[in-house]
Amino acid sequence: MKQTIYEHFHGDEKPFVDRATEWIERSAELHELRRTDFLDPRQAEIVTMLANRNGDAAVRLDGGYEQAERRRAIIAPHYRNLEEEEAGISVLSTHAPGQDKLDLDHGDFLGALLGLGIKRDRIGDIHVHDSFTHIIVSDEIADYLNIHLRQVHRYSVLTEVVPLQDLRTVIPKLEELELSVASLRLDGIASDVYRVSRAKIVDPIRAGRCRVNWKTTENPSEPLKEGDVISFKGLGRFKMLGVEGVTKKGRIRVKIGKFI
């Protein structure tokens, strides 16, 4: 039975599939309620798929706001009203005294948190504003971070836990690119986006360092479509914003949004 389930997932997803299957089975059979740590969109998709296969378990996803990328899953027996269950999410606000504008980005804050021994899956989305940052975290670590997070890169910072309704989000900035490509193959589009040769982009794909919609792919010829989000370790992310027709020479016009 489990081998049949594995056929739907990439090899490196099997450990997570095993964990998620256990969560769902315990909710369905032992009537347990579980709050997971923060899941990326692919992990959330896996949990939802497995719960739908079971039928005796239900799932609600919550990242603190409607458009959240990273979300906690609340898994419970199907008869529980999940809308009444707390997601266990806090917002940690940080600022640097006397600084109106900070030269910091998402990676600076994530690095500071991981440097305190916090696991990545305890952290939700991070919203970096000019003079402050709102970090979504699990309730279990909010007080610890409020005491211990005092340095981000070269800045000394102060923190406070603020109500979830005070969360101020940041819409990701995209650098729009218009490309003319021979096909919608992953390797061809990625090589144009990152401005490297197709030969150099194939190696990281085959090495498992590329994800399409948060799912690892090792196929350079995988076709992309509008809405797909592609990420390469060390190179960043981009999104397929649209396929806008064919030129007179038979090439395909695509619009790309490169995360900056």
Phi-psi region of 24 (alpha: psi -120 to 50; beta: other; left: phi over 0): alpha
Could you tell me the sign of the dihedral formed by the alpha carbons of 34, 39, 41, 45, in that order?
negative
Residue 2: per-residue pLDDT: 55
**In which residue are the tokens 């090495």 written?**
207
Question: Do residues 39 and 69 lie in contact, with contact meaning Cβ atoms separated by under 8 Å?
Answer: no
How many whole angstroms separate alpha carbon 91 and alpha carbon 93? 6
Helix-strand-coil split of the chain, %, nearest 5: 35, 35, 35
Residue 121: per-residue pLDDT: 97
How many whole angstroms separate alpha carbon 118 and alpha carbon 5? 32
Domains of the chain in start order, with CATH, are 2-84 (3.30.1370.160), 89-166 (3.30.70.330), 174-259 (3.10.290.10)
Residue 119: per-residue pLDDT: 96
One pLDDT digit (tens) per residue for the chain, 260 residues: 455 777 778 888 999 999 999 999 999 999 999 999 999 999 999 999 999 999 899 999 999 999 999 999 999 999 999 999 999 999 999 999 988 888 999 999 999 999 999 999 999 999 999 999 999 999 999 999 999 999 999 999 999 999 999 999 998 889 999 999 999 999 999 999 999 999 999 999 999 999 999 999 999 999 999 999 999 998 999 999 999 999 999 999 999 999 98
